[in-house]
């Protein structure tokens, strides 16, 4: 069974950093890409970036560049999202998702993690 299991909820102070993990099981991790998407309360979805699990190449949305790092550990079959210099607007549920191979540039998201809530508040 293909599964993405994310780390637990986080409560952070403004200015701090958070690192979320996403462990993949049930498929060949290194043959796929992993995307990160976030959703602020009551809002739509925002694509943050992706990492190629095979060679580690990553791309982050220009809007978030400089504050967001996306990485992976192929031995642990785990992807990571780190967001630095947190502000209240970063309060959201963060999802990892697998890039679907049937789609152009593996850009559709065919398997999703359960989400990780991050609250930024003093």
Please give the residue ranges that form the binding site for other proteins (CB under 8 A).
35, 37, 44-47, 59, 61-63, 95, 97, 100, 102-105, 107-110, 112-115
d(CA 25, CA 77): 7
Nearer to other proteins, 109 or 120 (CB): 109
Smallest distance from other proteins to CB 6, Å: 9
Nearer to other proteins, 16 or 31 (CB): 31
DSSP-assigned letter for residue 71 = E
Question: Count of alpha carbons within 13 Å of 74, Cβ hemisphere only?
Answer: 12
In the chain, DSSP finds a helix count (H) and a strand count (E) of 0, 11
Smallest distance from other proteins to CB 115, Å: 5
């Amino acid at each position: 069974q293909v599964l993405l299991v994310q780390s637990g909820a986080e409560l952070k102070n403004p200015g701090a950093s958070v690192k979320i993990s996403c462990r993949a099981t049930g498929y060949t991790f290194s043959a796929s890409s992993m995307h990160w998407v976030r959703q602020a309360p009551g809002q739509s979805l925002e694509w943050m970036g992706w990492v190629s699990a095979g060679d580690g190449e990553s791309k982050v949305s220009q809007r978030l560049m400089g504050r967001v790092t996306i990485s992976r550990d192929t031995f642990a079959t785990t992807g990571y999202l780190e967001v630095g210099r947190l502000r209240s607007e970063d309060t959201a549920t963060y999802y990892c998702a697998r890039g679907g191979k049937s789609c152009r540039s593996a850009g559709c998201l065919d398997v999703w993690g359960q989400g990780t809530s991050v609250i930024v508040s003093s």
